[in-house]
Amino acid sequence: MNDMDWVSQFAVSLDELISKVTTVVALRYVIFAGLAWFLGYVVMKRRWIHRKIIERMPTMTDMRRELLYSISSILIFGLVGTLTILVALRGSTLMYWDVGQYGWPWFFASIGIAIFLHDTYFYWTHRLMHHRRLFRWMHRVHHLSTNPSPWAAYAFGPLEAVVQAGIFPLAVCLLPMHPLAFGLFMVWQITFNVAGHTGYEFHPRWLMETPLRYILNTPTNHVMHHEKMSGNYGIYFNIWDRLMGTNHATYEDRFRQVTSRPKSGHELGAERKSKQESDTKAEPMTSHSEAVRELSIEEY
Ligand SMILES: [Zn+2]
Ligand SMILES: [Zn+2]
């Protein structure tokens, strides 16, 4: 199938292309974040609570804000995605449309390379956005969530959403990628992104006792990033954080502590619920936002 066949099957006009690309991005977010929320915050909450990294649950206010910012990011991702497809159709990227052109081994290799490329892109742009001159304008919105829920996966301010969307044009300009390979890479992206924000540690306890700890990132790592506002900048892998010495000193201990809790004795009791209510009252939105901004500046 050539490029025009691909696109003409998908959309016949620019409006239709924009709306369909945006719908695909939105469905991806709603399905994955919705499933994680349904499991972690409704049906499995009591069974999984011993693995909740921060034991109290995010508030409804937090989740509503995360959802609204994610909708804004989805619109930006839809526009950047459409523009990239249009540029690709002019032959100005390395995107190709016939699997036979590079064969199946490259099809799968391109997904793996794109994942490593994105991990590097994410780590360095993330660290840059923590610079005190950029944080307020680019990354503060994401850090309004100090105890994230799965809905925080795309909770970015508009400028950060543009930076995050940058991986799409970057990947297809650097790598020959088939649209389906890019789609599979995006499934990997949303799976890890949502898992990192759901708030539960799902990796086995033994992970931290093996060399795998140097490679794989964990939800504990990213939740600590939200909690402490700096350090632990990686997404899929822990390689850059290890190389650059940016893991929190207590990261491994925190992982061991979370994964060692007994199942019993970690139920959402009345005491915890009342603590959550008092925490909510003590942290109104405005003072919380101020705290995020000040912390980021002090800790940089
Ligand atoms: Zn950050
Ligand atoms: Zn995050």
DSSP string spanning 206-258? GGGGSGGGGTB--HHHHHHHHHHSSS---SSBSHHHHHHT-S-TTHHHHHHHH
What is the whole-number distance in angstroms between the Cα of residue 156 and the centre of ligand 1? 10
What is the whole-number distance in angstroms between the Cα of residue 278 and the centre of ligand 1? 26
CB-count burial class (<10 Å; 0-12, 13-18, 19+) for 58:
buried
What is the whole-number distance in angstroms between the Cα of residue 15 and the centre of ligand 2? 31
**Mean pLDDT, the chain cut into blocks of 10 residues (300 residues total):** 63 86 97 98 94 95 97 98 93 95 98 98 98 96 97 98 98 97 97 97 97 97 96 97 98 97 65 44 38 38
- pLDDT for 277 equals 45
- pLDDT for 281 equals 41
Both tokens of 252, joined, read: 């491994």
**Cα 21 from chain centre:** 19
- pLDDT for 14 equals 87
Both tokens of 231, joined, read: 């350090």
Supply the pTM of this predicted model.
0.85
- pLDDT for 2 equals 60
Both tokens of 159, joined, read: 């400028």
What is the whole-number distance in angstroms between the Cα of residue 130 and the centre of ligand 1? 6
| Residue ranges covered by each domain of the chain | 3-299
DSSP state of 39: I
Ligand number, closest to the Cα atom of 134: 1
DSSP state of 214: G
H or E element that contains 118: helix 103-129
- pLDDT for 3 equals 61
Contact yes or no for 94/33 (Cβ under 8 A): no
What is the whole-number distance in angstroms between the Cα of residue 286 and the centre of ligand 1? 19
What is the whole-number distance in angstroms between the Cα of residue 96 and the centre of ligand 1? 34
Closest to 197 in 3D by CA, of 147, 232, 159: 147
What is the whole-number distance in angstroms between the Cα of residue 10 and the centre of ligand 1? 36
Q: State how far the Cα of 98 lies from the Cα of 6, in Å rounded to an integer.
A: 10
